Structure formats: structure tokens, C-alpha cells
Structure 1
Amino acid sequence: MKRRDFLALTAAAMAMPHAGFTATELALPDAKLITLSDGFLTLPGDFVLGGMDPTQAEAIRQKFNLDPNSYTPPCNLTLYQDATRNILFDVGSGPDFMPSAGKIDDALTAVGLTHDDITHVVFTHAHPDHLWGLLDDFDEVQFANAQYLIGRAEFDYWTNPETVNSIGEARTTFAVGAARRLDVIAEQLTFIEGGDEPLPGVFARLTPGHTPGHMAFILGGKALVTGDAISNNHIAFEMPGYASPSDQDPELAAQTRVALLDQITVDDLAIVGFHLPGGGVGSVTRQGDSYTYVEG
């Protein structure tokens, strides 16, 4: 039995909350968007709300039925398909991050694809749950036929030798893991800047804060793939200006989040969120300075 199969069985036995979701579809002009489940993360209950006034945090937990001891956000990979391309946004956790994540193999099988069918891989950022699925159990690249694209600022940050010393102890493994994986595909990477259209129908938007070079993408002029720039369905919408410790630069991330939510509502875009429930595809409504995520 391969290590990945063992971890998959272990996760199934744990009866975790997001096991039923496989794929969610959204029709776009001349293309189709599908979100694929890579499983979910298992994090401390205060991962997002840490540092908030306890009374305020408890009110958020009550309103959104959040477990104070455990936070288990889903991981939704985005697949953008047209007549000739299968474009995958992020590659999930792979076998080395958490037993509850790294399920992209099953998700691809469910929609009739293999790793070799992916023509392009576009990274929103280089955190483990978005990048570490690049390599398999034997450290071989999973998507042999794909062209890889990443923001120039994101690549420069994670491949800078000083990052591991400055990022903070809690994220040291993130830096080491990102640098190792990006080095493997360095010769195959195409670099993106904010405002680029790196592929037809795919528009890049620089959205820094969660990481220094984080990117979001507008697909077909109709849907915005947020990555982790909008990373939950509760505090990110209820209080988008809240500086969450889950972001590397909390203040900048809050500014980015407010601007993105404004753009989504003004331009009437569908939202496609990596950690949003219900497959991650929905819409956003606005009430003054607050917003609501609506599934589907």
C-alpha cells in the first residue's frame, strides 16, 4: 500500500466533515469552471479569530456555528476548461502536509481526468495547501505535461534565501517546502505580473497580504478565483477590515480583502474561494461595510 493510500484510508476513518463534496461546476462564456475537493485542513479553533476581543470572537462563533477547538476549512481547487485547455489553479497539499488534505487524485478521477491531462498550472501563492501537491511520494512532478505560472513577486519571495530566517518560526517549514518545490520547476515557470492576461480569458490581479505576492484571477470576465485573499465565509465577509493573524501581513491583507469584495459586488462577479464552503462557488451580497457569502 502506498503512503498516500494509507493516509486516505486514515482520513476516511476519521469521519471528517467535508467528505461528501467532489466537484462543483459553473458555466462561463466558452468555458467551464469546476472546483475539485482536495480535502480539508485541520487547524486550531483560534486560527482565524486569534487576537480578537473574546466577546466579539464568541459572537462570530455563535453566528456561524464555529467549533472553538477545531477549525476545518475545505480546500477547493479550481479547474478552468475550454476546448483545448485544462487549467488548474493550485495543486493542493500533496502527501506531506495533512492527512485530511491532498485528495486531488480522487477529485481528478471523478471528473474523468488524469495529471497528464492538465495543460497549465497557475499558482495563487506558495503555501503548503496550494503548492505541495506539485510533487508525489517520490518527489516527482505530478503534472508532467503542464506549463507552470506564478506571480514574479511570489516566486522571488519564497526563493529568497533570507525568507526562511525572517518569516517566523511558525512558518519556517512553509519557506523550506516552497523553495524546494519551486526549485524543481524553476526552468518551466512563466512569471506573471498584476494586470497581465497570461492565458486567454485569465486575468491576473495582484492581491498581497496573505503572502507578499499573492495573486487572484478573473476568469472569463465572470468569476474571481480568490485563493486565500478571501479565505473564509465568516469574519472575512462580516468584518473584512479585520486584520487576521492567519495572514502574513494582516493589515495589507485586510486592505486587499476590502478592495476585492468591493470589486466582486460592483462587477457582479461569481466568487470562487479556496476555503469557502459548498464547493467554494457562490456570490456576494453587500450590507454597508459588511458582506455575505451566498453558496451556489
Structure 2
Amino acid sequence: MPQSFRPQLSPLMVEDLVRNALLEDLGRAGDITTYATIGPEKTAHMTINGRDPGVVAGLVLAETAFRLIDPAVRFEALVKDGDRVAPGQPLARVEGTARSVLSAERVALNFLMHLSGVASYTARFADAIAHTKARVTCTRKTLPGLRAVEKYAVRLGGGSNHRYGLDDAILIKDNHIAVSGGVGPAIAAARAYAGHLVKVEVEVDSLEQMRQALEAGPDVILLDNMTSERLAEAVEINRIHHGQTPAVYAVAQARVILEASGNVTLETIRAIAETGVDYVSTSKITMAAPTMDIGLDSSLV
């Protein structure tokens, strides 16, 4: 991914997030282990090393952790967020007073390990469907307080972001449909409520519901827990509804976007994407991503 097109995080948001994590870790008395065992004159020259292959994410949060503890700590990134790295590859160098570096270490590594894990796991899903037009996208199933940075990591891994919250897009789910009286009435009410820049998506679990949705004209239809065969049928129904040839449909913008969801794993995503859907959403890339093994190797002076 070219550096100029990589996602960015707001420095204000990063600082608040990291500050709260440091306050949680340092508690009322600070790092009493480090204060008790290491004198203030000691300095540390450390290297952050990746021990797994994967995609790096979270360097800006790690750097902020050291800076907030001690602005004099020097942090030199050796790679960039979004870079793919090999096992054993150095990611950054950190130099400063040992007390400062060690007090920030755990918070810095926690962010770096978790977000690099999300980016790396997302990359595995994205790589599995790179031969299709579909993109893997995340959901609102994220760890509380970490949604923005987890979605940032998803993008670094080659994935796409779904809505960030309840306020930036309308997603009509099964309970909304049941209470509002059906697919058509729910979409009509959403269209009447939403501003012209707000997208409207509706979740359906049958092809009949999908046909009803197409008549009501949402921007996106979420095809929930359908087999690959049903998904392929849905793609064809969408194509016919918009009167497009297969070649035109593959690239056309003037049609309803189709998103597949449910039972998405590394083993199933390829078949799902090959049906012709536009997006495949899964919570696994944020909720089930293993952390990347990253350590801080030190040389105290």
C-alpha cells in the first residue's frame, strides 16, 4: 500500500487513548518495580522486534506511550504501519532513561501486538479473495474503546471499514424489520428519515426478502447466512433487476451493493467471494485475531 494512501489516526484521539491506558497501568503509585530496582542514572537502548510474520499496525500508539511517559525518550520507527514484516525483523529503536522506557513498555507493546494482530489476520482474509472483486470488511463487533484503532488496523491489512457506529449509516436488521412491519416499510421509513448523504442498508435472510428490498431501493443489501449457491442466485437476481449484462454488472455502480455475512472463516471466504458479492463482512478479523508476538529487547547502560 503506498504510504500516501495509508489510513491515518487523529493525534488527539491517539493521545487520549494512550494516556488512559497508561493511567490504568501506572495506578496511584507508578511503576514501583522499576523504581525499586533501577536507579535514575541508568539508560536503556532497546529494540522492538517482531517475532511473527505479518502486517505492522500501531507504531504511532507505541511511540505516544513512550513520549507521554518522558518526552526525552527517543523513538525511531524502522518500518511503517502497513508494512509486511518477517520474523525477527526490527520494528523500532527506543532510547532513554531506563525507568521511563520500562514504565511505558507494556502499554506500547499491548497496542502494537493487538493492532498488528488485527492487521495481519485481516491480510490473511484479504489475500484469500484477492483474485475476486470482493473485499473483506469489519463490523461493529470491536473491543470497547478500541473501535477506531481496530478499524484502522483492518484497513492496513487490506480490509474495508463498515460503519463506525450507529450514527453514520443505517443498517436495518431483522428486529427492525419485524417491528416496523416488513422490509419495504422499514426501507421507506429509513429513506424518509435519512439525509441524502446517509447510506441505507437492509439485512435479509431469504431471496424473497431480497426481492422485496430491491423494490424498495436500499443502497446495500446484506445477505445473512446464505449458502454459496444462494449467494450466487442473489447476485443474478440483482443483475437482472438492474437490467445489466454480466460484464456490465461486474463494474457497474448504478446497482444495489451486495454484502455477504455469516459463517465467514478463512476456509469459507474464498467460496463466498467467488459468488460475485461485493463485500464479505466478518467480526473475526477484529474479535478473533491472534496477537502478533512482539518484544522489547534491551541493553541497559
TM-score, with normalisation over the residues of structure 2?
0.22
Q: Which structure is larger by alpha-carbon Rg, 1 or 2?
A: 2
Larger fraction in helix: 2
Larger fraction in strand: 1
Give the structure, 1 or 2, with the largest relative contact order (CA under 8 Å, sep 6 or more): 2
